[in-house]
Amino acid sequence: MIKSIYFLDENGFLLYSKNFMKEKYDQNVLIGFFSSIANFSREALGGIVKNVDLGENNKLILVPNSEERILGATVVSTNDNNHLVTLIVKNIMQDFIDSYSPDYDLETIYPDDMERIINNNLRRKIMPSPRIRLLLSWIIAGFLCYFLILLSINVTSFMYNYFNLNRFFTPEQLFTRFMPILILLSTINISILFILPNLILGFLSPNWKIATLNCLIYLVITITLYFYSTEPNFAYIIVGHLPLTLIFSLFFLFIGIRYSSKMFFKQ
């Protein structure tokens, strides 16, 4: 989450600041530090350094606005997504510019108005509490699990009849036709059962550990429900291809986590 935010003009003069944490920092030292980094990187590297690791689970993200010659600086947690933080600071800065450009008179920059601007931009980028997300993820995943199992059974039955897998196979046909179809069936079943639920579990999960645990729980639930379904033997498709199932599950879990980290802050 954003811990503090600052807007400075091209001369390093503070236009606005907001601290979201209980800890109080020496504002003058911070502003001088921000300006020094921006000026040094601009002169030495030809562009402003975008982020700096500050240690103690803190990092600094700098967001310049070349048109208005304003520098946005924010201190956030190290696990916050740089792209998301930059986007939010840019939006807040643009609202700040729209409201107070071109004079940026400190006497007319009202704290209540800036508070409203910041809250409006943050509200759209903050996910609900972890408990609500966990409950919501399992409601969706549980609902999907039942229907995806039915879909998997129907798709498998359709392909089984379409390719007439009941007929007699010669040893040559067994390896040239039956085995490729069986591998295709297994891949389709695993895709149906584990892609969408793991995307959702990853997207709504509070962290990696809980996401992985939920992924494994969903796998066990799916196998168990298969054993109690009309086609219990289908459970062996998942068990027999467990490495592939885990690869599919963890990959799309990762995609869900990464996508949500770029879109939202998680409380």
Identify whether residues 113 and 142 lie together within a single domain: no
Output the pLDDT for position 174.
Answer: 52
Identify whether residues 250 and 202 lie together within a single domain: yes
The domain boundary residue, chosen from 63, 98, 123: 123
Note every long-range contact of 135-143, with CB atoms under 8 Å and residues 24 or more positions apart, other chains counting: 136/204, 137/200, 137/201, 137/203, 137/204, 137/205, 137/214, 138/214, 140/197, 140/200, 141/197, 141/200, 141/201, 141/214, 141/218, 142/221
Give, in order, the Cα–Cα distances in Å from 204 to each of 49, 135, 222, 247, 248.
Answer: 32, 9, 19, 20, 18
What residue ranges of the chain have pLDDT lower than 50?
none
Output the pLDDT for position 234.
Answer: 75
Identify whether residues 149 and 37 lie together within a single domain: no
C-beta of residue 74 within 8 angstroms of C-beta of residue 86? no
Identify whether residues 189 and 232 lie together within a single domain: yes
Domain that holds residue 117: 2-123
Q: Write the CATH number for 107.
A: 3.30.450.70
Among 222, 202, 203, which Cα is nearest to 213's?
A: 202
C-beta of residue 88 within 8 angstroms of C-beta of residue 116? no
Identify whether residues 157 and 109 lie together within a single domain: no
Output the pLDDT for position 204.
Answer: 93
The domain boundary residue, chosen from 123, 140, 165: 123
Identify whether residues 75 and 189 lie together within a single domain: no
Identify whether residues 163 and 208 lie together within a single domain: yes
Identify whether residues 83 and 24 lie together within a single domain: yes
The two beta strands, 14-19 and 2-9, are antiparallel
Identify whether residues 152 and 253 lie together within a single domain: yes
Identify whether residues 145 and 53 lie together within a single domain: no
Output the pLDDT for position 38.
Answer: 78
Output the pLDDT for position 65.
Answer: 85
Distance CA 214, CA 245 (A): 14
Show the tokens assigned to 68.
């208005």
Identify whether residues 242 and 182 lie together within a single domain: yes
Identify whether residues 134 and 259 lie together within a single domain: yes
